[in-house]
Amino acid sequence: MYSVAFPSFCVHGPRHEEDIMDLVRREVEKCDRLGGFFNMMSMAGGTGSGMGTYITQCLRDTYPHSFILNQVTWPYGTGEVIVQNYNSVLTLSHLYQSSDAILVHENDTVHKICAQLMNIKQISFKDVNKVIAHQLGSVLQPAYTEGASEYNRNPLGDLMKSMVCHPEYKLLGLRNIPQMSETSLAYSVFTWPGLLKHLRQMLIANAKMEEGIDWQVRPPAGGLPPAEKGTHNKQLRFNTSLANLLILRGKDVQSADTGGFMDPALYTSWLPPGVASSTWRTPMSFNRYEKSATLVSNSQFLLKPLDGIVGKAWNMFASRAYVHQYTQFGISEEDFLDSFTALEQIIASYTHL
């Protein structure tokens, strides 16, 4: 609904701003301590993307020092809304200015998880949403940060601290294993080394789920100069990271060895070693999984989908199709160009990690 988003962004947003910000203020005042804002929205349709972006901007203006995390659902590649690529470009470029971090879920990936890992035959949005909720729960449920003796009081803040060290790099991805159907779960046994090995390879090889992982991809050998490293990585489709956060929940969690994620070869060369990787743990099991491991990462894994979206949007823009729908609500061609430029910049930054 950026298609109807721009009415949302330009018309409905301002119209309802006062009411919405009023509601927010009441909730904020009730808090002893404001941890931050967690906004959830889709990027393809109208209300989510338009209204969501507008509200995020309002929140940023009203609460300049609060953390704002936006969870954004990326649409199916084969189309849910025809102007989804325009909406995505406009949303992401605006969110980058007001939000602290953008946590991405791709409908295609979640759909595949439902189909291939959960064995659901007729997948409904309820199933898709359940998977997303599980993944988010695995991040936001209480846990102990490193060396802490109490549960973290400020998960949003801790998340930002670990993941977003540079304002140019705000795109976060989530991988959570294991994920399987009830029936399979009854017959499965998990070990921390096994789970961590899979997660690490999923990160390196840019696998979105625990199936079809390419075990051939390896991190580059140490000591390569940055330029050569880049070519090496591109050839092997190696996914370079900026930051990684492991969240481990379940039995014997203290014994889990996360050393594999501290390997400097996984990270971009301009980061000082040791800062890029962190781990949260709790012995409490999560959602009927005896052991559950989540990886939140700021890496190149969204580069290809982002490039795809921008490419398609640009092609459409070249023919000016649908642009009149936006200009009639106040989004000019210059605004489009600004958004495209912002995203090309983000793509370039992530490419050269």
Partner 1 sequence: MGGGTGSGLGTFVLNVLEDEFPEVYRIVTSVYPSAEDDVITSPYNSVLAMRELTEHADCVLPIENQSLVDIVNKIKHMSHSGKLGAEIKQSSTIISGQGGVKGQEKPFDAMNNIVANMLLNLTSSARFEGSLNMDLNEITMNLVPFPNLHYLVSSLTPLYTLADVNVPSRRLDQMFSDAFSKDHQLIHSDPKHSLYLACALIVRGDVQVSDLRRNIERLKPSLPFVSWNQEGWKTGLCSVPPVGHSHSLLALANNTCVKPTFIELKDRFMKLYKKRAHLHHYLHVDGMEQSCFSEAFSSLSSLIEEYNQLDATKGLLMTDAQRLNIAV
Per CB under 8 A, residues contacting partner 1 are 1, 3-4, 7, 46, 76-83, 111, 114-115, 122-126, 128, 310-312, 314-322, 324-325, 340-341, 344-345, 347-348, 352
Query: Which residue(s) pair with 289 in the sheet?
Result: 286
* CB closer to partner 1 out of 16 and 111: 111
Peptide bond into 178 cis (omega under 30): yes
In one letter, which amino acid is 67? Answer: F
**Least distance (Å) between residue 64 CB and partner 1:** 29
**Least distance (Å) between residue 322 CB and partner 1:** 5
* CB closer to partner 1 out of 13 and 46: 46
**Least distance (Å) between residue 347 CB and partner 1:** 8
* CB closer to partner 1 out of 80 and 252: 80
Instruction: Please name which of 210, 209, 293 lies closest in space to residue 251, comparing C-alpha atoms.
Output: 293
**Least distance (Å) between residue 260 CB and partner 1:** 31
Instruction: Kindly state the DSSP code that residue 9 receives in the 8-state scheme.
Output: I
* CB closer to partner 1 out of 27 and 333: 333
**Least distance (Å) between residue 330 CB and partner 1:** 13
* CB closer to partner 1 out of 4 and 203: 4
Taking the C-alpha atoms of residue 183 and residue 171, their distance in angstroms, rounded to an integer, is 34
**Least distance (Å) between residue 228 CB and partner 1:** 17
Tokens 């602290």 sit on residue: 100
Taking the C-alpha atoms of residue 173 and residue 298, their distance in angstroms, rounded to an integer, is 6
**Tokens describing residue 267:** 């990270």
* CB closer to partner 1 out of 46 and 305: 46
In one letter, which amino acid is 139? Answer: V
Q: Is the separation of the CB atoms in 24 and 41 below 8 Å?
A: no
* CB closer to partner 1 out of 38 and 76: 76
Q: Is the separation of the CB atoms in 111 and 76 below 8 Å?
A: yes
Burial of residue 89, with CB atoms counted within 10 A of its CB: 0-12 exposed, 13-18 middle, 19 or more buried: buried
**Tokens describing residue 62:** 């009203």
* CB closer to partner 1 out of 115 and 284: 115
What are the strands, taking DSSP E only, across the chain? 37-42, 68-74, 101-106, 171-177, 241-250, 277-282, 291-299
Tokens 């801790």 sit on residue: 158
* CB closer to partner 1 out of 21 and 347: 347
**Least distance (Å) between residue 4 CB and partner 1:** 6
**Least distance (Å) between residue 160 CB and partner 1:** 26
**Least distance (Å) between residue 78 CB and partner 1:** 5
Tokens 């992982």 sit on residue: 213
Query: Which residue(s) pair with 299 in the sheet?
Result: 241
What DSSP line would sit under 38-64, residue for residue?
Answer: EEEEESSSSIIIIIHHHHHHHHHHH-T
In one letter, which amino acid is 126? Answer: K
Instruction: Please name which of 158, 154, 39 lies closest in space to residue 99, comparing C-alpha atoms.
Output: 39
